[in-house]
Amino acid sequence: MAVRRASRALAILTATLALFACAREDPRLEGLVNLEPAPPSTDRIRELEALVEQHGETVSRKVEAGLRQADALKLLAQEYMRHELYGPALDALEEAIRIQPRNHMLHYLAGVCAGFIGKAQARPDLREQSLARAELSYLNALEISPDYIDGRYALAVLYTFELGRPFDAIGQLRRILERSSGHIPSLFVLGRAHVELGNIDDAISAYDRIIAARVDDETRRAAERNRRLLLGGSQ
């Protein structure tokens, strides 16, 4: 503890002295230097150290409390989601995001909740509003963590099945498959997106990749069934 306080005091002192050193060397700051007649005195340095001593632990406790609160809200939201209470879950996630706006997982979970809420809306305007919120949440998650596959996959599913934007979905799915060529769920959605665009050969190719992969029998049969339907065969 004492070492940490000493380190903070030293950092303050070092930064303060560095400012004066830079100011003396930079003629553009000459006027600013004149506002402060001298570097901090020994008494001022001691005062800064006392402030660190007095408030440093309080600041640390507040930061730790904020992190614990965000974690608790995330856990609460996940428990709500487990019981399919997506409205309260989204409320908890929004509060957590205000605390940790750069947490990609919080944005992803908010997108999942908003998507379920949107699909349940009878009014087209409310449905559109919730689905737009889901898209924004996924995009926020990916802006923070571009390699987050679950977020990119969820966005592709939203584009394909809810927003009627299969072309945009294909772009997201290709990025996933560039990183993980055997991501079977993405291949299924890729096939569906190509069907929506009328790209039957590309859809068949996606199902062929699933069939050739090391997947369980049920997954292989599903891909084979989709392939036969596209070729005009029976189920």
Residue-range domain boundaries for the chain: 64-146, 149-235
Per-residue pLDDT of the chain (235 residues; tens, 9 = 90+): 544 554 554 454 455 445 444 444 555 545 544 555 566 778 887 877 777 777 777 777 887 888 899 999 999 999 999 999 999 999 999 999 999 999 999 999 999 999 999 999 999 999 999 999 999 999 999 999 999 999 999 999 999 999 999 999 999 999 999 999 999 999 999 999 999 999 999 999 999 999 999 999 999 999 999 999 999 865 5
Backbone torsion region of residue 84, taken as left when φ is above 0, otherwise alpha when ψ lies between -120 and 50, otherwise beta = left
CB 167 within 8 A of CB 197: yes
Q: What is the pLDDT of residue 57?
A: 76
Scan for tokens 């929506």, then name that residue.
196
> Same CATH topology for 64-146 and 149-235?
yes
Using alpha carbons, list the distances in angstroms from residue 146 to 138, 171, 175, 177.
Answer: 10, 14, 10, 14
Contacts of residue 11, defined as CB under 8 A and 6 or more positions apart, other chains included, come to: none
Contacts of residue 209, defined as CB under 8 A and 6 or more positions apart, other chains included, come to: 187
Scan for tokens 């019981």, then name that residue.
83
Domain at 64-146: CATH code: 1.25.40.10
> Under CATH, what is the fold of the domain 149-235?
1.25.40
